[in-house]
Structure 1
Amino acid sequence: MTTGVLIIHGFTGGPFEIAPFKRFLENHTNWKIVVPVLPGHEMDLGVQKGSAKSWMMGAELALRKLQKEVDDVIVVGFSMGGLIAMYLALRYPIKKLILLSAAAKYISPRILLGDAGIMIRSFIRRSYPSDSFYHLYNYKLTNTPIRVAIEFLRVVRLVQRYYHQVKTPVFIVQGEQDGIVPAFTAKLLYEQLGSKEKHLIYSKNGKHHICYSEDRHVWFPKVLQFMHED
């Protein structure tokens, strides 16, 4: 049996947001891991052309392609990607669902940019060749039309009413210091999701970019164990 992992990034973000977790999976599994760039989120652009429909369709097309190449698919969603991951779980057979800082509440671009700067100064220069992510966030957030921000809220509203219909086994990870998605959001999700098997871990010092939290070495293995279980 072959396993594929689809990882969906967040609003105004990109694959760099989940890079540490992706690298961890690559080092500990032989799974096929796919991290598509959602429409309008290309590296050198602001989020100019994206919409709720295009983001969901982009993730859906990536899932369909991956399903043709593997036997089982696990979907990981970060921030807005967590909402899209739940949407996919409603429509397709998915083995496991991982929700990281799932954005069930609205995002504050100002806080997002501030946290991104802290994330990059603390970790990127030590671990990755590029230190340009902060400037990328700055450009994207200052060039994000109000129309596109409204599209993000549309994603929230579209998925919110169906939480109870999600039956896929789920693992939720939430930072207690998240200034964008309130920590209590994770508990609400945990209680409202219809999954029989569900787990919730709080990162005591974790902020919104949870994959860069200081305690990631603790919860990465726990999530991987969940992903391995039948």
Structure 2
Amino acid sequence: MNTSQIAVKPGAEPFSADGGPVGVLLSHGFTGSPASMTPWGRDLARRGHTVRVPRLPGHGTTWQQMNTTRWTDWYGELDDALTELRARCETVAVGGLSMGGCLALKLAQDRPADVDSLVLVNPAINLRRFDVKLVPALQHLLPSMPGIGNDIKKPGEDEVGYDKTPLKALASQLKIWKQVRANLDKVTAPVLLFRSDEDHVVDDSTKDLILARVSSDVIEYMPLSDSYHVATIDNDASTIFEQSASFIEAHARGVAGG
């Protein structure tokens, strides 16, 4: 398969905006696309910040293509984007939704000097569901499972994801979850964690692990009462935008007012 010829779905394109010395890197989640993060990115850009919302490899095209990618591909895309932002900005915050939160945590673990703050929205590094334990074996028997996308309370919103979950890719995600869980104590950046009261994709075990194990001096937790999993484009989006902007600006090292 020539993956370079696979079209990107409308709405799943990456978003980029050049602004001031505060850089913000935002990552969408597993099987999702930049569509879930671009409104947040545009809001930050309107506030004068430099923003990058990459499209992770294998996302926004077909689930079959995603099944040829692994966590190292997704993480590598964000790692490169962080390097580019660090070269042009005085300070950089990293935000992530679901698996994007996992990738953000790994960046903070691997590059603590380059991540000045973390904003996590319904992050995923663990699930209690029993069937997740079967995925390493199932990936060799089945190409996919039913999808997890568009868990959104607000009518009419679409994260431009897949209706199937590619199992080889999911098995790879479980590997990075394990790594990130084992190294949560290496996270020292200030953390703002949003968690929907009703989330049909990720249970609250991830929240509990993060709040208990990170080494950050600043950890702020904010529940979201009117959104499901993809809260960045749900009813609480404005709360996420406002609170994250204040948090990022408050912890912007080397920038006046931070």
Instruction: State if a TM-score over 0.5 links the two structures.
Output: yes
Equivalent residue in structure 2 for 1:190, among 211, 219, 222: 211
The alignment status of 1:66 with 2:85, answered yes or no, reads yes
Equivalent residue in structure 2 for 1:160, among 178, 181, 187: 181
Q: Percent identity?
A: 25
Residue in 1 that maps onto 2:9: none
- The answer to whether the 8 A contact 1:123-1:212 is kept is no
In the alignment of these two chains, the number of paired residues is: 213
Residue in 2 that maps onto 1:127: none
Q: State how far apart, in whole Å, the 1-side matches of 2:110 and 2:77 are.
A: 14
Report the CA distance between 1:44 and its aligned residue.
Answer: 2.5
Q: State how far apart, in whole Å, the 2-side matches of 1:70 and 1:224 are.
A: 16
Equivalent residue in structure 1 for 2:62, among 42, 45, 62: 45
The alignment status of 1:137 with 2:170, answered yes or no, reads no
From the CA coordinates, give the structure whose radius of gyration is larger.
2
Alignment root-mean-square deviation, CA? 2.2
Q: State how far apart, in whole Å, the 2-side matches of 1:114 and 1:69 are.
A: 34
Tell me: CA distance 1:84–1:24, structure 2 relative to 1, closer, same or farther (3 Å).
same
**Residue deviations 1:20-52, cap 9 Å, x none?**
32222123x1111001111221x2222132112
The alignment status of 1:20 with 2:39, answered yes or no, reads yes
Q: State how far apart, in whole Å, the 1-side matches of 2:36 and 2:150 are.
A: 14
Report the CA distance between 1:111 and its aligned residue.
Answer: 6.6
- The answer to whether the 8 A contact 1:186-1:200 is kept is no
Equivalent residue in structure 1 for 2:75, among 56, 59, 65: 56
More helix by share: 1
Report the CA distance between 1:91 and its aligned residue.
Answer: 2.0
| Secondary structure in structure 2 of the residue aligned to 1:137 | coil
- The answer to whether the 8 A contact 1:19-1:211 is kept is no
Equivalent residue in structure 1 for 2:239, among 205, 218, 228: 218
Residue in 2 that maps onto 1:128: none
- The answer to whether the 8 A contact 2:26-2:94 is kept is yes
Q: State how far apart, in whole Å, the 1-side matches of 2:52 and 2:90 are.
A: 15
